[in-house]
Structure 1
Amino acid sequence: MSVSAVSLSRLLRCSLSSVGWSTRCACMCDPTMPGVRWNSTRLDADGSGRPATWDSFGIWDNRIEEPILLPPSIRYGTPIPQISLSKVGCASHIGLNKLMHNVLYFALFDGHGGPQAADFCHKHMEQHIRDCLEVETDLQAVLSKAFLQVDAALAAELQMYASLMMVGTTATVALLRDGIELVVASVGDSRALLCRKGKARKLTDDHTPERKDEKHRIRQSGGLVTWNSVGQANVNGRLAMTRSIGDFDLKKSGVIAEPETTLTLLQHAHDSFLVLTTDGINFSMTNQEICDVINQCHDPTEAANVIAEQALQYGSGDNSTVIVVPFGAWGKHQNAEYTYDMSRNFASIGRWS
C-alpha cells in the first residue's frame, strides 16, 4: 500500500512555520512586485492609446487573472504572468500562507512499505531545498543535493529501526523561478508533464528495471532484475523502481536516490499547465489523455479532481494524487473532439477490450 503526500510552497531563505492539513500541503512565500492585471487595462503596446490585450503580446487571453511579473518580463523580453498558488489545482487539501516569493515549490511523494518515507520527505525536503538555495543558484544542482541530503537524513533517522529499512517513496519536485524557469527532479515512477500547444511533453522518465540504463546499473551493482506473475520487473523481486528515497536494504543493489533533472523555459503563449501525477493515475491513463482531460476543465482544481476520479473509474487500485499548475495558455488548447466519457475512453485506449 502506498501513501501519497503533496507539497505546494513558495520558498524563503528564512524559516517559517508550515500550515498543517490532513493530506499534507504547505505554502510559504514573501512579497513580490505589483503587476498589471490580465483582465484590467493593459499596457499600450502599439501606441494607439487602446488597451493592449494578451493576444497583442502573443499570449492567450485566458480565464485566470494574475499580474505580470515586471522584472522577469523585462529581463527575458516577454510578458511573464505570476503563477499564484491559489490557482493551482490539487486533489488534496491545500494550505496557504499569504506571503509570496519568486520561487515556487511543488512536490509529490508516493510512499511504499509504509508512510514513513513520504512523511519524512514532506516534512524535510523543503527545508533542505531552502538551505541549498543559500549557497547555490543552479536549481538543478539544488534539487540534486536536496534529494541526496533528505535520503541521508532519512537513513540516519531509521538506522535504529531495522524493520523500516524497506520503506521508501518516489519524489517528483518542481521549482519555478521568476515564473519562467521550470526545473523538475524525480526519482521513481511519479511523473511530471508539461502541456505545450495542447500536447503532452514529458519532463520525467519513470525509473523502472525495464529501462536499459537502469537495468544495467542494478546488475553492475550486484542486484537482480526479476519479473512477477503479471510481467512487472522488480529489483531483487521486491521493488518496481530503480530510484527512490529510502529502500535502504536495496542501496547495495543499485537503487539510488540521485534524481534526474530537467530545465525548461516556459513559453506562456503555448504552455497551458504543469501536472504531477502518481503511478495510480499513470497506470490507467496515457500522458496525452491526462492533458486532454485537463484541457476540458474550467479551472485547475476541477481538473485535479476529475483526473483523480477518472483514474479510480478506470480501475486504478493505487493512490491517485495529482497537482495541476496553470500557465499563460490555460484554456487555449481545448480539444473539441475529446471528452472524458467513460465508454469513449475505454474504447479509444483499448485497455479493457
Structure 2
Amino acid sequence: MIAQAQAAAAAAEVMVEDIANDVVTHLDKVPVPESDDLQGFPSIRSGSYADIGARRYMEDEHIRIDDLSTHLGSLPSPSAFYGVFDGHGGSEAAAYMKDNVKRLFLQNLQISRVDEVEDSLREAFLSADFALAEEPSVSTSTGTTALTALLLGRLLVVANAGDCRAVLCRKGKAINMSQDHRPNHPSERKRVEALGGFVDDGYLNGVLSVSRALGDWDMKLPRGSASPLISEPEIQQIILTEEDEFLIIGCDGIWDVMSSQQAVKLVSRGLRRHDDPEQCAKELVREALRLNTCDNLTVIVVCFTAKDHQRDTTPQRKRCCNISTQALYSFKSLLNK
C-alpha cells in the first residue's frame, strides 16, 4: 500500500508540474557557434544506465558519442551525439537504429549553419523510417521512438519523435527540450484526427501509445502519403550558457513516474555528492524502479562542466560530543577494574 501511495503521489506531481518553456525553437540563420568565447565551456562528460524493469524483454537501445570529431573529422569543439531508442512490438527496430546510427543520422549531417543542422536531422529521421520499411529483418509490426541530442560547440539541438524526453538543467531549473508525442496531446490529437485516425483511451487507433515513431509500417499509409502516425521529429535548439549544468535524456519509463524537475533535483544532488554522471544515471533508474515504473528504463546524463566542478568539497564540520564529569568518572573507573 505504501509503494502504491508513493507511485500515485509521484504521478500526481508529474501531472501538475510547471516546467519552463523558454526554449528557442527557431534560431536565426547564423553560423554554428564555437565555444572559444566561454573559455572551454562546455566540457563534455556523460554516463548512462539501462534496466529491463518489470518487462519480460528489453526493447530499449541508446548510444553515446562524447567526441563526434573522431567519427566525422573536423567539427566545432566540443562535438557530441546521443540517442535513445525505445522499441515496441519487439526490439528489432530500436536495435537497427543503434547499429546504423552513423549511416542514418551522421553521414550526411550538414553543420555549417543552424538551419542546415535542423534540416539534416529531419531528413535523417525520415530516411531512417524508410530504411526500416525496406529492412527484411525488421517486422512491419515493430517500431521505435527516437530522441537524439547533437552538441556542436555551444549549440544543442534535440530532435524527438515519440515519448522519450530530454531535460536541460539551468541553474537547478528543469527546461523540457522535447515534447512527449502522446495521442492525447491536443496538437497531436488534432493532427491525427485531421488525417483520418482516432484516439481511443489514449492510444492511436486503439493500438499505439505514441503518435510519432520510426517503423510500425503496418500502421502507416504507403510512402509519400500523409499518415496519422508519422516519423517527422520536432526539433528544439538552444545556445548553452554557463548557467546550463547538464542534460538528461530518458525513455518514458522514467517520466511515467517522475517529473522533469524531480529528475533534475536528483541528478543535481548526485553531482554535488560524487560528480559522476554514470552514477547519476543509475540513481535515476533505481528511483524510477522504487516508484514502481512498469517499463524498460534507459537514461543518459550529459554534464557540461569539467570533473569536480559541481562537487561539494566544503569540509564537513566535525561533531563533538560533550561527556559529563560523572560519565567520564564512571568510564575511568570501569577501565581501572
TM-score computed with the length of structure 2 as normaliser: 0.68
Equivalent residues in 2 for 1:135-150, closer than 5 Å: 137=113, 138-150=116-128
Letter matched to residue 237 of structure 2? L
1:217 equivalent in structure 2: 191
Confirm or deny that 1:122 pairs with 2:98.
Answer: yes
Deviation at 1:135, TM superposition (A): 8.3
Letter matched to residue 99 of structure 2? K
Equivalent residues in 2 for 1:135-284, closer than 5 Å: 137=113, 138-158=116-136, 164-178=139-153, 180-227=154-201, 233-252=202-221, 253-267=227-241, 269-284=242-257
Correspondence for 1:309 among 277, 286, 300? 286
Distance 1:249 1:183 in 2: 30
Confirm or deny that 1:88 pairs with 2:36.
Answer: no
Moved more, 137-146 or 106-115: 137-146
* Percent identity of equivalent pairs: 36
Distance 1:112 1:176 in 2: 28
SS in 1 for 2:206: coil
Judge conservation of contact 1:109–1:118 (CA < 8 Å) in 2: yes
Distance 1:282 1:270 in 2: 24
Deviation at 1:126, TM superposition (A): 2.6
Judge conservation of contact 2:199–2:206 (CA < 8 Å) in 1: yes
Judge conservation of contact 1:191–1:276 (CA < 8 Å) in 2: yes
Letter matched to residue 41 of structure 2? P
CA 94–237 in structure 1, closer or farther in 2 if over 3 Å, else same: closer
SS in 2 for 1:209: coil
Distance 1:244 1:95 in 2: 21
CA 97–198 in structure 1, closer or farther in 2 if over 3 Å, else same: closer
SS in 2 for 1:295: helix
SS in 1 for 2:297: coil
Distance 1:315 1:82 in 2: 35
Distance 1:305 1:121 in 2: 23
5+ residue gaps, structure 1: 1-70, 228-232, 335-353
1:294-326 deviations in whole A, cap 9, x for unaligned?
001122111000001110111012111100000
Deviation at 1:125, TM superposition (A): 2.8
Judge conservation of contact 2:182–2:188 (CA < 8 Å) in 1: yes
Letter matched to residue 189 of structure 1? D
Distance 1:197 1:206 in 2: 23
2:267 equivalent in structure 1: 294
SS in 2 for 1:256: coil
Could you say which structure has the greater relative contact order, defined with CA pairs below 8 angstroms and 6 or more residues apart?
A: 2
5+ residue gaps, structure 2: 1-32, 51-61, 222-226, 313-337
CA 265–146 in structure 1, closer or farther in 2 if over 3 Å, else same: same
1:36 equivalent in structure 2: none
1:239-286 deviations in whole A, cap 9, x for unaligned?
01100001112223510000000111001x211101101111000111
SS in 2 for 1:88: strand
TM-score computed with the length of structure 1 as normaliser: 0.65
CA 220–129 in structure 1, closer or farther in 2 if over 3 Å, else same: same
Judge conservation of contact 1:272–1:331 (CA < 8 Å) in 2: no
Judge conservation of contact 2:64–2:83 (CA < 8 Å) in 1: no
Judge conservation of contact 1:139–1:175 (CA < 8 Å) in 2: no
Distance 2:304 2:187 in 1: 33
Deviation at 1:134, TM superposition (A): 5.4
Letter matched to residue 146 of structure 2? A
Deviation at 1:136, TM superposition (A): 6.9
Judge conservation of contact 2:140–2:218 (CA < 8 Å) in 1: yes
Equivalent residues in 2 for 1:27-66, closer than 5 Å: none
Judge conservation of contact 1:295–1:331 (CA < 8 Å) in 2: no
Distance 1:309 1:148 in 2: 34
Judge conservation of contact 2:66–2:80 (CA < 8 Å) in 1: no
Deviation at 1:73, TM superposition (A): 3.6
Judge conservation of contact 2:160–2:233 (CA < 8 Å) in 1: yes
Letter matched to residue 192 of structure 1? A
CA 97–205 in structure 1, closer or farther in 2 if over 3 Å, else same: closer
1:72 equivalent in structure 2: 34
- Computed over aligned residues only, the root mean square deviation of the Cα atoms, in angstroms, reads 2.6
Distance 1:211 1:96 in 2: 32
